[in-house]
Amino acid sequence: MTINRSWLLARRPQGRVSIEDFAYREEPFVTPTLADGEVLVRNHCFSCAPTIRNWLNPPERSYRTSIGIGQPIAGMAGAEIMASRHPRFSAGDYVTAVSPWQDYAVLAPDRAAVPVVPVPAGLTLADALGPYSPNSLTAYFGMIDVGRAKIGETVLISAAAGSVGTVACQIARIQGCRVVAIAGGPIKCAWLRDVAGVDATIDYKAGDLPAQLAESCPTHVNLFFDNVGGEILQAAVDAMALHGRIVLCGQISSYDTGKPAPGPRDMMRLVYGRILMQGFVVGDFAARYDEAYAALRQWIKRGDLICRTDLREGFDRLPEAFVDLFRGNNEGTLLVSATSGLPDQTRTDSSSEQGR
């Protein structure tokens, strides 16, 4: 008998998310009857993204969707199509999609808020969820379009050792910027300097962030790419150069607090600094994804861009891995495979660090 395993929302997290907020369920898998436009997928790999934490909030505190108590957690996954009644997908295709945290699920691609995308020829599922994932696209459009990073500028990036951050740092470096990366702990900072090639790092856990910023950014910050918000955003606002830009990519420091993300303490700093602050969502750039894929492919091929994947094995480890995002226990893109190992289709050397 085939079993369909699921991770469900057991209760809404009160502040910090914990593994007790999730419930495990096993059910016999009965092949469903598909309606027109539906596909049956087998999820092989799940991407742990901080924004899923926002979806665990009640509807009035969730930005896009709110997962109901007892419902499966959902997130970006790499899946194999097992059966299809959709004209664009066939059994045996591999796709990325927002899918429930289950072995098997029925998806309706035409009704999906996030497109169901075929894994391009030559790429593995781990590639599609790692170097060519929406997180890399986020770094690309956030840095190039929203931030308009220019040669010679000082660019500061928070959560720099994470999935979006590692790519954002390297894109800024490729644009000829002086890159200053903020991350938690000496090991992450060493990777950013030695492998990602940033010019300076700030370990925000080592204390006195304003002093570290002043030392690392003597001519102030032209562009701040913020994944974190809170105290880090505040310190960066205080360190901005005249006419600086702040790209609001995410605010992870507040996701787990039960409170809305705070703004800077003194808006007059933005007035007198002529600072531009802009939020964005990667889906805004969907029509230009091919441009970003082409650039990423070229940089990876040339060895200019190293994408880092933190692959954990085993469906049972999903909640624990997700919680790790909020403890800083991931290095790069955090993926969890459904079984011990990924199917052969996804086995290539690109599932770990891609060499320079």
Ligand X SMILES: NC(=O)c1ccc[n+]([C@@H]2O[C@H](COP(=O)([O-])OP(=O)(O)OC[C@H]3O[C@@H](n4cnc5c(N)ncnc54)[C@H](OP(=O)(O)O)[C@@H]3O)[C@@H](O)[C@H]2O)c1
Chain residues binding ligand X by CB under 6 A are 49-51, 135, 138, 159, 161-165, 183-184, 188, 227-228, 249-253, 280-282, 325-326, 328, 330
The smaller minimum CB distance to ligand X, of residues 27 and 208, is found at 208
The smaller minimum CB distance to ligand X, of residues 39 and 202, is found at 202
| Contact by Cβ (8 Å): 179, 152 | no
| Contact by Cβ (8 Å): 273, 242 | yes
| Minimum separation from the CB atom of position 202 to ligand X (A) | 10
| Minimum separation from the CB atom of position 231 to ligand X (A) | 8
| Contact by Cβ (8 Å): 191, 201 | no
| Minimum separation from the CB atom of position 143 to ligand X (A) | 12
The smaller minimum CB distance to ligand X, of residues 14 and 219, is found at 14
| Minimum separation from the CB atom of position 16 to ligand X (A) | 10
323 sits in which H/E element: helix 318-325
CB atoms within 10 A of CB 116: 22
The smaller minimum CB distance to ligand X, of residues 243 and 288, is found at 288
| Minimum separation from the CB atom of position 31 to ligand X (A) | 34
The smaller minimum CB distance to ligand X, of residues 84 and 337, is found at 337
- CA 144 remoteness from chain centre: 17
| Minimum separation from the CB atom of position 319 to ligand X (A) | 16
Whole-angstrom Cα distance, residue 282 to residue 304? 23
The smaller minimum CB distance to ligand X, of residues 81 and 296, is found at 296
**If we measure between CA atoms, which residue out of 137, 101, 87 comes closest to residue 7?**
101
| Minimum separation from the CB atom of position 249 to ligand X (A) | 5
The smaller minimum CB distance to ligand X, of residues 279 and 355, is found at 279
Whole-angstrom Cα distance, residue 3 to residue 261? 40
Query: Which residues are CB-neighbours of 88 under 8 A, at least 6 positions away?
Result: 109
The smaller minimum CB distance to ligand X, of residues 100 and 250, is found at 250
**If we measure between CA atoms, which residue out of 269, 208, 273, 263 comes closest to residue 233?**
263
| Contact by Cβ (8 Å): 199, 192 | no
The smaller minimum CB distance to ligand X, of residues 50 and 100, is found at 50
Q: Sign of the CA dihedral 327, 328, 333, 337?
A: negative
| Contact by Cβ (8 Å): 79, 58 | no
The token pair that represents 8 in the structure block: 């469900």
| Contact by Cβ (8 Å): 220, 198 | no
| Gyration radius from the chain CA atoms | 20
| Minimum separation from the CB atom of position 96 to ligand X (A) | 14
Whole-angstrom Cα distance, residue 39 to residue 99? 12
| Minimum separation from the CB atom of position 236 to ligand X (A) | 12
The identity of residue 153, as a single letter, is E
